[in-house]
Amino acid sequence: MNLEQLIRDVPDFPKKGIIFKDITPLVGSPEGFREVINLLRQRYEERRIERVVAVESRGFIFGATLAYALGAGFVPVRKPGKLPAATIREEYALEYGTDAVEIHRDAIQPGQKVLVIDDLLATGGTLAATCNLVRKLGGEIVEVATLIELTFLHGRAKLGDLPYYTILQAG
């Protein structure tokens, strides 16, 4: 199956000069969505993943479904102020200013095997911050995975030596 055909480029969204990778046609396709989840399940089913950590909001689509398929717990990482219980926060740099993500303090136990997932790796700031949160809680990151990597933005470099996997690359 050609998954790239199920991803729509939307020019000038959310602002002029950006080409947004719209995954809604892919997740709206039963065959396409099943193919992505099956590829990821097959990759991780023997790795004893205990927690799938996913980044708000499109990462939740893949993270929750994959956690279910693997028999693992799902852990949401959200923008500040969106989680109801005690959290820890990690700030990261943007082109202009900073942003932050949070995770519940009790979401991961020390030594648990964790898969970190999002829909897309662009500049890498959000995923790197998410990995820092997992490390602060003592989780063992098995791998970082995305559906799409925008290679021209070199976001993989922000992940350091963490194992990384992507299904599709766009350059």
**85-118 pLDDT, tens digit each:** 999 999 999 877 899 999 999 999 999 999 999 9
24 assigned to some structural domain: no
128 pLDDT higher than 90: yes
Residues spanned by the domain of 89:
31-170
CATH number of the domain encompassing residue 159: 3.40.50.2020
134 assigned to some structural domain: yes
Place 171 in a pLDDT band, splitting at 50, 70 and 90.
confident
The whole-model pTM stands at 0.96
Q: What value does the mean pLDDT of the chain take?
A: 96
156 assigned to some structural domain: yes
User: What DSSP designation does 82 have?
Assistant: -
**Long-range Cβ pairs for the range 160-169 (8 Å, 24+):** 160/128, 162/131, 164/121, 165/43, 166/121, 167/3, 167/36, 167/39, 167/40, 168/3, 168/4, 168/7
What's residue 161's pLDDT? 97
What's residue 42's pLDDT? 98
Catalytic positions, written as ranges: 58, 95
